[in-house]
Each structure stands twice: as C-alpha cells, then as structure tokens.
Chains A and B, each alone.
Chain A
Amino acid sequence: MLRKGHIFKWYIGIFLVFLYAPAILLPVFAFNDSSIVSFPLKGFTTKWFAVLQTNETLHVAVGNSLMIAVTTALFSTLFGVLAARASTRFVFPARRSIMGFIMLPMVLPEIIIGVSLLVVIIQMGFELSLWSIILGHILICTPFCIAILSSAFMNLDQSLEEASFDLGQTRWNTFWLVIIPLVMPGIVASLLIAFTISLDEFIIAFFLAGTEPTLPVYIWGQLRFPAKLPSLMALGTILLVLSISLLLVADYFRRRGIRKTGIENTGGFL
C-alpha cells in the first residue's frame, strides 16, 4: 500500500510539472536580458515589454481579438440562454436530436469547421472579415454556453416561476424578475468561457482571417523571427496574468451569487 501511495505522489508531481512548467517559463524569459531564449539566464530587463508598447500591428491584432471575443461571448451566451431555456423547460418534437446537433460542434474538429466555413463564405461571394471569424467562433462557443447554462436553468426550481405567475406577474416579467437573476452566475460563467475560447482560438481565425489577423494568428506569424521571441514571451506573460485575474474575478462574482441566493449552481471553475 505504502509503495502504491508513493508512486501516486510521483505521478501527481510529474503531472503538475508538465502542466505548469511551460507556463512558468513565459515570465522567466520575458524578463531575461537576452534575445536568445535559452538558459543560463542573463540579467533582468523590462525592455521586451517596452517593445510591445510601440508595436502598431500588435495593437491592431489585440483590438481585433477583443472585438471578436466580446461579440462572440454576447451572441453565444444569448443563443445559449435561448437553447438552454427551451431544452430544460419545454417538450417539443425531436428535442433530443435537435439538442444533439447543436452540441455537435463541441467535438467536431475545428479544422473541418474552418475549411467548410471558408468554402461557404467564398462561394457565397462574401469578403473575409472579422465577422466571418465571429461567425465561426459563435459556432464553436455556443455548445459550451449551452452546457453551462443548461445546468443553471435545470437547478432552477420550477415552482418559483409558477409562484411568480400565480402572484399575478406576466410570463415576460417573470423571465426578467425571477429567472434571469437566478441564472445570472451561469450567464457570467458562459460569457467568460466564450470570451476565453474565442480569444485564443487559432485554426478558425487563421482560415477566416482575411487581411485582419487576430492575436493568436499574429503571434504565430511572428514566431518565424527569432529576434521577436522574447517580446512574445512578454506578451504571453501579460495574457497569463490577465486570464488568471479574469478567472478570479469571475469566481468571486459566482461565489457572491451563491451566497446571495443560496441556490445550487455548477457554473464555476475554481
């Protein structure tokens, strides 16, 4: 038994190292005063961050990515709310198969979605633009949003809705006064996950980018120039810190929501 436990500990240790060591290397080399990314480390510098500040193309790419991620998050969550509400509350013909097809993009290889969307958009005579990327991202994000929101809607006691209706409120107001506030933690989680997925999605963005690259596509393009590598490390460090803070903020709101309402919810990450 003792040896078994020992092996298990080693397994966990090695697993965690593989998981996080590469991410820790980002900040290490971001502050390393050398244009070559290798050990031994030279001195401490912040010049790679200064390089980022003056890079116009990078700023455009970041702007594109943010715009795409925010739009995608809003639309996917909206579709997610509609689908989750419909599938948990109403019984309609072929409900299971319809929901199955909506969820399919979650497991479909992104390259297939990317290629097929590219063909369709070009065949229909549309220009590739940020909107074509948004279209692709909504397609892959919506299933995740539905999955998160379905559990939020399912945890909702149906008698709350009936009580509101019974007390003389209309269905429309019931939706805004009772249902939406109670599934809000789920909506926040859904916005967040769609934003995150869209922000670092590469394949679809690469196929559908046209002339305006997103951040991941820009980074991939820069990897050809070894001299740019340290500044990319700096960029990665910023993204790492930002996404961790975003996650913490979202979880703070989620926990506060649970405290406030006392209801069960499963939309969180931490």
Chain B
Amino acid sequence: MTQPIIQLSGLDKFYGNFQALSQVDLDIKTGEFFSLLGPSGCGKTTLLRSIAGFETPSAGSLYIDGQSMDGVPANKRPTNMVFQSYAIFPHMSVAENVAYGLKARKLPKAEIKTRVTDAIAMVGLQGFGERASHGLSGGQRQRVALARALVLKPRVLLLDEPLSALDKKLREQMQSELRQLQRAVGITFVLVTHDQEEALTMSDRIAVMFDGTIAQVATPQDLYGQPCSRRVANFIGMMNFLDAKILSTSGETVDVDVQSFGKLTLPLGQATGGLEGCDAVGVRPEMLTILTGSQTAEREIEAVVSEVFYYGDMTYYDVRLPFKEESVTITMRNTAGRSILGVGEKARVGWSASSLLLLK
C-alpha cells in the first residue's frame, strides 16, 4: 500500500474561544476522490483551507506527499483549489486565467501556450480561450476554475463546494463530469460539500464531520449501510429509529429488547458504532416492506397507515406500529399492479433482523 497523499494528525483550529477543528486525524489516499461532508459550520471548509494553506492549524501536523506543511505558504504547496465563488479573474480572458499559474512559475511561452490549450480542451471549452471571463455562465466559470487549477498538475485538487451555485440539472451533469475528469487525470480530489447525495455519487470515500470532529470515514456504501451513529445515519439518507434496550451480550451476539419489534438476538457486527451507549435500532425505509396478498417476510408486524406521500415512482408511507405507537417511514417502489394504500388502512409490515442496526 502506497503512502497516503495527505496525512493529518491531531489537527486543532481555534478562532478565539471557538474550536473549529478538534483532534482531526485523517489519511487521504493517492488518487482517490475524497469528500468532506457535513452541515454548515462543521469545520469542513476550515479543514480544506488548512490543507490549502489559507488557515494555520493551532495544533497538530499536516503532511502532503510525505512533506511536512508546517510553515509552507499556500503558493508553495502542491495543492490547488477551486473556490466556491470560482474566483475567476474578471479582468482577464479565459486563456489568461488558465495561464496565470504557469506564468507565475515562469515557464517558457511555448509550453504555457500548449498546456493552456490542452487544459481548456480538457474541460470542454474549446474556442473559449479569447473570451472575456465575466460573460461566462456558472457552468463555464466552473470549468475555467477547474482548468486553471488542473493545468498546474497539482498533487491534490481541493474543491470548496464547487457545485452549490449551479442549478439542479447542471449540478448533476457537472457531478458526472467531475468524476470522469478525476479518473482521467488521476489526481487526488478533495471535495467539500454539504450535499449528501453529491458526496455519495461522486466519492471513493467520505469523511462525515460534525462540530469540528470527524464522525466517520467510509466508502459511500459503508457509510449508508453501516453508519456509526444515529447522527451520521440521519445525515446520510433517511433512517427510522426505534427505542431499544441492550439486555445482555454473549460472545458474538447481543440480546436486545426493541419495544416495537420484540426481543431479538443480533450479531455484534450490527452494532456498527460499538455497543456502548446504544439505545436505538435503526432501519432504512427501503428495508421495510408493506406486504400484499399472499406475500410473506422473515418477520411481520401489523401497523396502521398514518400518512401517504406519492412521488410517482415511489410512495412514502408513515405507519404507526402497535405498542408504543412508534412511527416509521416505509418507501415502496410503485411497481405494476401494486395499489396505493390509504390513510387509516391496516398494513402488514415485513422486516428482517439482519437489516437492523444497533446505534447510539
């Protein structure tokens, strides 16, 4: 296994009394598409700016490509950044913007010219070189910002919420383009986003951050399938939580009393964040089914439909479980011949013990 391109350990950042980062440890692998995901104010942008060299951590160490970045200013680091506002120089043409970093490195004119042309072509802006940069659309500005950073062949490309200013359609298009671009150039991308869907679709790995600390680092599948806490589970997609009490543990299994589902024995692996402090089981809405006709499931429970949300391809049901009247959401694909239940109707809810997660 090769050395991580970015190694952070024990990183702290204080602004006066406010702690923006607290003991951040993180390794980012060479060539991966890595996302920092979290709600606003969680410290993800501070972390990115610390890597770029715009913020000086209060404590801890930061290595890029095996080199300590202690005291290395932003203009000497092997990183380049795509800013949230894109920061395109408004008084320069597209080509001048892209050539800016190469000129700073005092490269020969001919080399600058070919590299600029290549970079502009790479982001699909052929023929835009002489355009004034202020007349460009949001998507085009984004491409210029990408070309301007990638033309320098940085070891790491840092992206600060680059898609947040685009409308939904363009954002989805740019998501897939960014992913393709990253595969093509093979440069490590570190993306900051608050959009969980964006992080899931684009990243090789994701770090979820809350309150200046990293809550979990995992692949998108693991993050969705095995979140380590209720907070992470709630931030990534939807999750139903049911009160649960740990009764006893024995070897590889744990006995749990889930009031609504009864007493269960679960493998220890389903306590994804460890057993300590677990007081709920979580289950994704699509892991529950509403059974029709002669359908059966591993386990079944009678419930009453309390709300129905029709989305065309999907229907979201809120159903009330017996006992403590706990409510869960169930998403069902609207396949052919499946009728939509109405509010107040009885529903047979099918579930399985293997889809439950024991969470704190």
| B87 in contact (CB, < 8 A) | yes
Given A166-B80, A169-B100: A160 touches B89 (CB 8 Å cut-off): yes
Among candidates A157, A168, A181, A262, residue contacting B87 with C-beta atoms closer than 8 Å? A157
Given A157-B87, A163-B87, A178-B89: A169 touches B104 (CB 8 Å cut-off): yes
* Seed contacts A164-B100, A166-B52, A260-B134; 20 additional CB < 8 Å A-B pairs: A159-B87, A162-B74, A163-B87, A165-B75, A166-B79, A166-B80, A167-B75, A168-B75, A168-B101, A168-B104, A169-B100, A178-B89, A181-B91, A260-B91, A260-B132, A261-B90, A261-B134, A262-B135, A263-B90, A263-B134
Instruction: Return the 10 tightest CB-CB contacts between A and B, nearest first.
Output: A262-B134, A167-B101, A163-B87, A159-B87, A168-B104, A261-B90, A169-B104, A159-B83, A261-B91, A181-B91
Binding site for A on B (CB under 8 A): 52-54, 73-76, 79-81, 83-85, 87, 89-91, 100-101, 104-105, 132, 134-135, 148-149, 152
Please, how many residues of chain A have a CB less than 8 angstroms from a CB on the other chain? 20
Binding site for B on A (CB under 8 A): 157, 159-160, 162-170, 173, 178, 181-182, 260-263
A159 and B84: CB pair below 8 A?
A: yes
Distance to closest chain A CB from B174 (angstroms): 19
A173 and B104: CB pair below 8 A?
A: yes
Among candidates B74, B85, B135, residue contacting A166 with C-beta atoms closer than 8 Å? B74
Distance to closest chain A CB from B156 (angstroms): 12
Given A260-B91, A262-B90: A163 touches B83 (CB 8 Å cut-off): yes
A178–B97 alpha-carbon span in the complex (Å): 11
Which residues of chain A are near B135, meaning CB under 8 Å?
Answer: 262
Which of A164, A173, A181 counts the most chain B CB atoms within 10 A? A164
A167 and B134: CB pair below 8 A?
A: no
What are 22 A-B contacts defined by CB distance under 8 Å? A159-B87, A160-B87, A162-B54, A162-B74, A162-B81, A162-B83, A162-B87, A163-B89, A165-B74, A166-B53, A166-B81, A167-B100, A168-B75, A168-B105, A173-B104, A181-B91, A260-B91, A260-B132, A260-B134, A262-B90, A263-B90, A263-B134
A260–B100 alpha-carbon span in the complex (Å): 18
Which residues of chain A are near B75, meaning CB under 8 Å?
Answer: 165-170
A151–B80 alpha-carbon span in the complex (Å): 30
Which residues of chain A are near B105, meaning CB under 8 Å?
Answer: 168
**Which secondary structure characterizes the binding site on chain B?**
mixed
A159–B85 alpha-carbon span in the complex (Å): 8
A164–B148 alpha-carbon span in the complex (Å): 11
A168–B53 alpha-carbon span in the complex (Å): 12
**Which secondary structure characterizes the binding site on chain A?**
helix
Closest to B76 in A: A168
A232–B85 alpha-carbon span in the complex (Å): 56
Distance to closest chain A CB from B82 (angstroms): 9
B152 and A167: CB pair below 8 A?
A: yes
Closest to B135 in A: A262
Distance to closest chain B CB from A265 (angstroms): 11
Distance to closest chain B CB from A41 (angstroms): 52
A167 and B80: CB pair below 8 A?
A: yes
Which residues of chain A are near B79, meaning CB under 8 Å?
Answer: 166
Given A173-B104, A261-B134, A262-B135: A167 touches B90 (CB 8 Å cut-off): no
Given A162-B83, A167-B100: A182 touches B74 (CB 8 Å cut-off): no
Which of A159, A166, A263 counts the most chain B CB atoms within 10 A? A166
Which residues of chain B are near A262, meaning CB under 8 Å?
Answer: 90, 132, 134-135
Which residues of chain A are near B91, meaning CB under 8 Å?
Answer: 181-182, 260-261
A167 and B83: CB pair below 8 A?
A: no
Given A157-B87, A159-B85, A262-B90: A167 touches B52 (CB 8 Å cut-off): no
Closest to B105 in A: A168
Which residues of chain B are near A178, meaning CB under 8 Å?
Answer: 89
Which residues of chain B are near A159, meaning CB under 8 Å?
Answer: 83-85, 87
Which residues of chain A are near B100, meaning CB under 8 Å?
Answer: 164, 167, 169
